[in-house]
Structure 1
Amino acid sequence: MSSKLSRALGLDQVRPTAAEVDSPMPGDALISRPDAVMDRAFTLRASPEDVWPWLVQLGKGRAGWYMTHRVERVVPRSRRASRIVDQRWQHLVVGSVIPDYGGRDETFTVAEIDPPHTLVHTSRRGRTDVTWAIAVAPLDPGSARVRLRLRMGPVRRKWLVAVAGEAIDLVTISWLAGGLRERVGPG
């Protein structure tokens, strides 16, 4: 993919550092031997406390999945993500179930939550266990680093996850990062 297209899609803005990839994340122990691990990270010009409400309300039938205004223009209005923090989606606890876009009946369950820094979701897709961890850390005053890690195992078709799954995750998280930048401030 050309670097111009990569920049236009925001794909270059969600690359984790080598240290971030190598360091443990909350929820890693929930799948001890994953067949697939996808790491993403980005910086926002907002405090963890300002970023957190946007992350807590993610999900199908909730605030949606944030995308930039430019991308959302081609999405039907009824499917666009929220542009406000909605109090009805701010009350997650361990065990909360969140609908997901992975299929009509797919869900995530909150396995760990430590506001405003850690949110770990779990799911089971067929015979595959999935964890999706989000960690928010303060940087300098007024900035936060958001790290995301998706872990899956066992995976039957590892090559498919390595190619298609990786590409879908990269685009999805790139759009999420761009959508959050528009909502909480430039990043």
Structure 2
Amino acid sequence: MGLLIALGVGVVATARLRHRSPGVTPHDRARALPGDDLVPDATVVMDRVGVLSAPPEEVWPWLLQLGKGRAGWYFPARFEVVVPPRRRGLRHLEPSLLEVNHGDRVPDWGPGTPALEVSSVTAPASLVFHSLRDRRNAWRWPQEGTGADPAVLAMSWALQLDPADGDRTRLHLRVRLRMRRANGPASRLGDLVDAVTTGLLFAGLSERLRSPNARPAPGG
């Protein structure tokens, strides 16, 4: 992953041109998104925007199957060469992964064994995840009633799909975090990692949307 982050800096530098993204605007940062209320006391908020050359209903299923132990993370082909084949993101839509419901939990990357819980699903407009991570217990979801503990990292991740001109999608991703040291090195590193991995995601997703496998198989 460290090598991918280093390589990914190039993607971050060119992603806006490649995907014709206008970038994050003051309006993006100020607008309310589904899931903002999950971490009302967030100390860090990160917004990323990419424009994809497909309408929301075609982008939507690719987001539903995203994740660890599912379709993986969508790296572009030129970066996947350093990823073992079994860990590469899918390049097709898998019907068995397209059913996502409120309350589902899926494993997430990171230290320990964190999980993301589906908070809301509004097709094909928004998908929101919530996560609580107890650093004292391998970053697992804490016991009921301990979510406000300072040792518990709280996170929400909103994926908002807005129609754009030319039958395209403006994909707005927002991460909200409540963490103890919001201005420390860990926060700055987290912002860099998020920028790199999101830039890779936009590039990899754009590639997949141009492929013949961009739509589910008939009957899937």
Using structure 1 for the length normalisation, give the TM-score: 0.91
Match of 2:87 among 75, 79, 86: 79
Q: What are the equivalent positions in structure 2 for 1:139-154 lying under 5 Å apart? A: 139-153=164-178
Residue 114 (str. 1) matches residue 122 (str. 2): yes
Structure 1 equivalent of residue 202 of structure 2: 177
1:43 maps to 2:51: yes
Larger CA deviation: 165-174 vs 17-26: 17-26
Which AA in structure 2 matches 1:91?
A: E
**Secondary structure class of the residue paired with 2:29:** helix
Aligned length: 181
CA distance in 2, matches of 1:95, 1:81: 24
Q: Which residue in 1 is equivalent to 2:162?
A: 137
Aligned-partner residue type, residue 77 of structure 2: H
**Corresponding residue number in structure 2 for 1:63:** 71
> How far does residue 141 in structure 1 lie from its aligned partner after superposition?
4.0
Q: State the AA in 1 paired with 2:191.
A: E
Q: 1:185 to 1:142 in 2, by over 3 A?
A: farther
Corresponding residue for 1:8?
A: 10
SS of residue in 2 equivalent to 1:10 = helix
Q: Compared with structure 1, are the counterparts of its residues 104 and 156 closer, same or farther at alpha carbon in structure 2 (3 Å cutoff)?
A: closer
Q: CA deviation at 1:8?
A: 3.0
- Alignment partner for residue 181 of structure 2, among 157, 160, 163? 157
Identity percentage of aligned residues: 36
Q: Deviations over 1:134-168 (max 9, x none)?
A: 00011124200000000011x12221343101000
Q: Structure 2 length normalisation: TM-score?
A: 0.78
Contact 1:44 / 1:185 at 8 angstroms: preserved in 2? no
Deviation per CA, 1:56-101, whole angstroms, max 9, x where unpaired? 1011110000110000011110110000010111000100111111
Report the structure number with the largest CA radius of gyration: 2
Give the Cα–Cα distance (whole angstroms) in 2 for the partners of residues 21 and 185 of structure 1: 29
